[in-house]
Chains A and B, each alone.
Chain A
Amino acid sequence: MSTVSTGATDVLIIGAGHSGLAMSAWLGAHGIEHAVLERGEIANSWRHERWDSLRLLTPNWQSRLPDYRYAGDDPDGFMAMPEVIQFIRRYASFTGAPVRTDTEVISVRQDGTDYRVMTSQREWRCRAVVMASGANGVANVPALAAALPAGVRRMTAKTYKNPGQLDASGVLIVGASATGLQLADEIQRSGREVTLAVGEHIRMPRTYRGRDVQWWLDAAGILDQKFDEVDDLVRARRIPSPQLVGTPERATLDLNSLTARGVRIAGRLVGVDGRKLQFSGTLRNECAMADLKLTRMLENFDALAAGSTWGASLPPGERHAATRVEDSPPLGLDLASERIGTVMWATGFRPDFSWLQMPVFDPRGRLRHEGGVVTPGLYALGLNFMRRRKSSFIHGAEDDVRELGTHLLGAIGDRPQNALWGQSPISMSVTP
């Protein structure tokens, strides 16, 4: 017998990160009653599920939310985790979001035209649900991990904090996205031998012609590309994160800088046979592909600059050396003789919707949605390329929240009112 009464509100937002808080601000501005359910505290994943040295991959000037932006003295810098947490916490204070912390969602079910949301605190009934719990809920671990022999330490980018967690043995890092490269760099610098398994990857310089690469992607309209404008959306949503790192030096991190520091690169990890790791022979092609795409991207940037009023003032562009691949990259490595004691999965993340008890998943377990609309009244936020390429970025929340918020109002039968949201002449400034 329950002694806690069922709560009722119009909208429940799951997750008090930047996108959930932005949706809360939008609903508040439109007079919609709602609550933000947060399993831990505000910006929980940034507090507890990131490695210590991580900084945002986007520069400070790009860190903006509706009516709220970075206004410190280092617009070209990259926020470290304590700064990100403060940035989001202050946004929550600024918006006055009705956040209920320490409230874990256990299940979400449809109930007629309403939704029933069971939490660790109480049950709720609401007319719409916004799932803003993030794109990185679970670290992907490939099935072949089960074949690793006992005694090999397995970690993911979610459990890794710093090299102090590791013993002195070598580390195999699987995956060459931003995560894999950053961890390879940090662990190799800590004196441990790193082998990096490299499949498809996106090579990107931190800066080009004096501007951050994110500036170029923004200027070229790439970050604003819509989900219904790309040829192959399934693929676009699965593209690994570009090989970027945010450092005070605005340094470029690529496979060449890693191999120069002693990291060994191999092809994609494709098999585990006893103590033997098997790597694909596709490394050369994957690197050639990434080099070709990098050159094409920089040529497109040059063309953009050439057709602009500002291009003439930029310094000339530089080209990058082709990725160096040894003549015979390793195809098989013996864990014992190579003294590899840890396997680190940097093979991407997927959102955790395990509490969503509705038939809204495809046969591969992925959430079915049309630009974040799962069904009228049920929405996602912050997923990779959800409505735009920038959907998973902090500054991507504003457009998505406005569009999905409008859809939500229609779904619950209310008319948009005269809102000040996103039009306020006074912006909140933040100095971390």
Chain B
Amino acid sequence: MKMSTPPVNNGVNVEALLGARQALTDMPEAAQFKWRATCEWVNGTHSRSSVQSFFGLGTEHSHKTEFKYDADHPAIFASEDKGATPVEYVLVGLASCLTAGIAAIAQNRNIQLRSVKATLEAGMDLQGILGIDSDVRNGFNGIKVTYEIDANAPKADIKALVAQSQRRSAVFDIVTNPTNVTVEVV
């Protein structure tokens, strides 16, 4: 008797992604996207950011709804802790980007995911942002991401999946490579 394996379904439409890749190879101008956010100061270190519109495929788009994010600092920073700290949002961005990539690549490699859990920890020396030691950078001195993945694949294949996700991740690139930042006041 022949056993049939159910088709892999990680909820990712790989055909659409591969189709988009082909279409954008032929039309590089459509591949030019612009991502946006706005941020308004509330009080103290508390601010509220929102994202809704973005540009791509040659036209304006909008998320289904406007997403809002409160950012603040915890009480030990003499703040009111009305939201995650901005640096924690960076970790959220990195984790969600890598995890989305893992799902998509697993689908493409016929790997069925059962659970994927990432734990992130980033070190920071406060002597940087407090101006105590000018040799200490403001940002993270390193980020450690630990994945626990349950899937129908050998450990080596899961490691290769996670490695490839880093290769294809926008946020991984943003945090590992320099980016020119222009800040203007109008």
Contacts and interface: CB of A to CB of B under 8 A. Distances in A.
Same complex:
yes
B177 A285 contact: no
Contact of A295 (B156, B167, B175): B156
The 7 closest A-B pairs by CB, nearest first: A281-B176, A289-B163, A285-B166, A271-B178, A270-B177, A282-B176, A292-B160
B28 interface: yes
A246 interface: no
Interface of A: 200, 267, 270-271, 273, 278, 280-282, 285, 288-289, 292-293, 295-296, 328, 363
Given A328-B141, A363-B28, A292 B163 contact: yes
Interface in B149-167: 156, 159-160, 163-164, 166-167
Contact of A285 (B141, B142, B163, B178): B163
B171 to A, nearest CB: 12
Given A282-B176, A289-B163, 16 more contacts: A270-B178, A278-B177, A278-B178, A280-B176, A281-B175, A281-B176, A281-B177, A282-B166, A282-B177, A285-B163, A292-B156, A292-B159, A292-B160, A295-B156, A296-B160, A328-B142
A200 B164 CA distance: 11
Contacts of B55: none
A328 B123 CA distance: 12
Contacts of A281: 175-177
A15 B163 CA distance: 41
Nearest to B166: A285
B21 to A, nearest CB: 10
Contacts of B28: 363
Contacts of B160: 289, 292-293, 296
A356 B160 CA distance: 42
Main secondary structure of the interface of B (DSSP, over half): helix
Nearest to A278: B178
A369 B163 CA distance: 32
Contacts of B166: 282, 285
A288 B176 CA distance: 16
B30 to A, nearest CB: 14
B156 A296 contact: yes
Contacts of A289: 160, 163-164, 167
B186 to A, nearest CB: 27
22 contacts: A270-B177, A270-B178, A271-B177, A271-B178, A278-B177, A280-B176, A281-B175, A281-B176, A281-B177, A282-B172, A282-B176, A282-B177, A285-B167, A289-B163, A292-B159, A292-B160, A292-B163, A293-B160, A295-B156, A328-B141, A328-B142, A363-B28
Contacts of B177: 270-271, 278, 280-282
A288 B178 contact: no
Nearest to B160: A292
A346 to B, nearest CB: 20
Interface string B49-75: 000000000000000000000000000
Interface string B120-142: 00000000000000000000011
B159 A288 contact: yes
Nearest to B141: A328
Chain A CB within 10 Å — which of B167, B172, B175, B178 has the most?
A: B178
A278 B166 CA distance: 19
Contacts of A278: 177-178
A295 B175 CA distance: 29
Contacts of B164: 289
Contacts of B176: 267, 280-282
A390 to B, nearest CB: 25
A296 B176 CA distance: 27
Nearest to A328: B142
A194 to B, nearest CB: 23
Chain A CB within 10 Å — which of B159, B160, B176 has the most?
A: B176
Contacts of A296: 156, 160
Chain A CB within 10 Å — which of B28, B141, B160 has the most?
A: B160
Contacts of B175: 281
A309 B160 CA distance: 31
Chain B CB within 10 Å — which of A280, A289, A328 has the most?
A: A289
A302 to B, nearest CB: 14
Interface string B23-43: 000001000000000000000
A265 to B, nearest CB: 15
Contacts of B156: 292, 295-296
A270 B178 CA distance: 7
B141 A288 contact: no
A361 to B, nearest CB: 15
Nearest to A281: B176
A359 B166 CA distance: 37
A271 B156 CA distance: 33
